Amino acid sequence: MQMPISGSFAKQLLTLAPKLVRTPLSLVPFKMKADILTRILALMLKQQAIDEELDFLSDRWVAIHVEDMGLEFEVSYNDGWQVRPRADAEVLFAGHSKELLLVAAGKEDPDTLFFQRRLSIEGDTELGLEVKNLLLSIEFDTMPAPIRHSIEKLAQLLQQLESKAEPQLA
């Protein structure tokens, strides 16, 4: 059973939810966040690691900045994932949690978000394109079920909230 949600409530929820997560997330030690991120990356990109499609990340760092949640980190792949605090990555991907989740779920195209200025990519263009192509190559159906279902449900909820939050034309 779905509860009816007003457009203004949906808009407030889309804005406030990441802010509500931001403070508790900032209290979690980075080492714990890095461990969780390492495990998620290993699960999500297991096949790409087996197929040696991650070799281009060897000794190269990619920064991710989830702006509305204040989450920043860098990743690299050298026979396993490495996650560290943001320092001096060669390329930076930045956006709000909503856009990054929709990209992860395959519901939004990163190029479209980039041209709409809802996702920014700065730094080494070639590395950025390789990372973007890697993300696009992930077959969502091959992800472990708990991750796939969580991302799908969150993406569906976001899309429903966005549709309610958009002004209705009479």
Each residue's pLDDT tens digit in the chain (170 positions)? Answer: 455 556 666 666 667 777 778 888 899 999 999 999 999 889 888 889 999 999 999 999 999 999 988 999 999 999 999 999 999 999 999 999 888 877 777 778 888 888 888 889 899 999 999 998 888 777 767 666 777 777 777 777 777 777 776 665 44
H helix intervals, the chain: 7-27, 30-44, 46-50, 97-104, 110-115, 125-137, 145-165
User: Considering its fold, how many domains does the chain have in total?
Assistant: 1
Residue 136 sits in a domain whose CATH number is 3.30.1050.10
What is the reported pLDDT for 109?
83
Residue 25 placed within a domain: no
What is the reported pLDDT for 47?
87
DSSP string, 141-165: GGS-HHHHHHHHHHHHHHHHHHHHH
Helix 145-165 to helix 30-44 angle (10° resolution) is 100
Residue 19 placed within a domain: no
Residue 9 placed within a domain: no
Residue 10 placed within a domain: no
Residue 11 placed within a domain: no
Residue 39 placed within a domain: yes
In terms of Cβ atoms closer than 10 Å to its own Cβ (0-12, 13-18, 19+), residue 94 is: middle
Residue 4 placed within a domain: no
Residue 36 placed within a domain: yes
Range of the domain at 48: 30-163
